[in-house]
Structure 1
Amino acid sequence: MKYDFHVLLCSRRMTIELRHFRCFLAIADTLSVTRAAERLHLSQPAVSRALRQLEQETGTRLADRSTHHLALTPEGRAFRVRAEAAVTAFDDALAHTRPAPRPLLLGHAWSAAGPYTTPLLRRWHERHPGTALELRRIDDRTAGLLRGDVDAALLRGDLQDEGLLADLLGTEPRVAALPADDPLARRRSLILADLAGRTLALNTVSGVTTPDQWPADARPAGTVPITNTDDWLAAIAAGRCFGVTSSATADMHPHHGVRYVPLRGAPAVPVHLVRRAGPGHPAVPDLVALAHEVFGERP
Structure 2
Amino acid sequence: MTIELRHLRAFLAIAEEGTITRAAVRLHTGQPALSRTLRQLENHLGTRLVDRSTHHLELTAAGRAFRDRAAAALAAVDVALDPRALTVLPLRLGHPWPALGEYTVPLLRRWDREHPGQPLELRRIDDRTAGLARGRADVALLRGEVTEPGLVTELLLEEERVAVVPADSELAGRATLTLADLAARPVALNTVAGTTTLDLWPAGARPPATIEVDNTDEWLTAIAGGRAVGVSTSATPRLHSHPMIAYRPLADAPPVPLFLARRADTPPHPAVPALVRLIRELLSGT
* TM-score tier after normalising by the smaller chain length: 0.7 to 0.9
Give distance in 2, aligned partners of 1:281 and 1:33. Answer: 34
Distance 1:134 1:177, change over 3 A: same
Distance 1:51 1:296, change over 3 A: farther
What is the identity, as a one-letter code, of the residue corresponding to 1:150? Answer: A
Q: How far did 1:218 drift?
A: 0.7
State yes or no: 1:279 paired with 2:267: yes
Give distance in 1, aligned partners of 2:30 and 2:97. Answer: 29
Q: Which residue of 2 aligns with 1:188?
A: 175
Stretches of structure 2 lacking an aligned partner (at least 5 in a row): none
Equivalent residue in structure 1 for 2:9, among 11, 15, 19: 19
Q: Which residue of 2 aligns with 1:295?
A: 283
What is the identity, as a one-letter code, of the residue corresponding to 2:211? Answer: V
Distance 1:232 1:252, change over 3 A: same
Q: Is the 8 A contact 2:48 2:63 kept in 1?
A: no
Q: How far did 1:134 drift?
A: 2.2
What is the identity, as a one-letter code, of the residue corresponding to 2:191? Answer: T
Compute the TM-score of the two structures, normalised by the length of structure 2: 0.80
Give distance in 2, aligned partners of 1:148 and 1:260. Answer: 34
2:235 match: secondary structure = helix
Compute the TM-score of the two structures, normalised by the length of structure 1: 0.77
Deviations 1:26-75 (Å, cap 9, x if unpaired)? Answer: x4xxxx859xx8xxx949x999x9799758933255699888xx987655
What is the identity, as a one-letter code, of the residue corresponding to 1:59? Answer: R
Q: How far did 1:290 drift?
A: 1.4
Q: How far did 1:244 drift?
A: 0.7
Give distance in 1, aligned partners of 2:119 and 2:84. Answer: 18
Number of residue equivalences: 274
State yes or no: 1:59 paired with 2:57: no
Q: Is the 8 A contact 2:189 2:213 kept in 1?
A: yes
RMSD of equivalent CA atoms: 3.6
Q: Which residue of 2 aligns with 1:115?
A: 102
What is the identity, as a one-letter code, of the residue corresponding to 1:144? Answer: G
Stretches of structure 1 lacking an aligned partner (at least 5 in a row): 1-6
Q: Which residue of 1 aligns with 2:226?
A: 239
State yes or no: 1:219 paired with 2:206: yes
Deviations 1:171-206 (Å, cap 9, x if unpaired)? Answer: 111111101111111111111122113211111110
Radius of gyration: which is bigger? 2
Equivalent residue in structure 2 for 1:139, among 107, 126, 136: 126
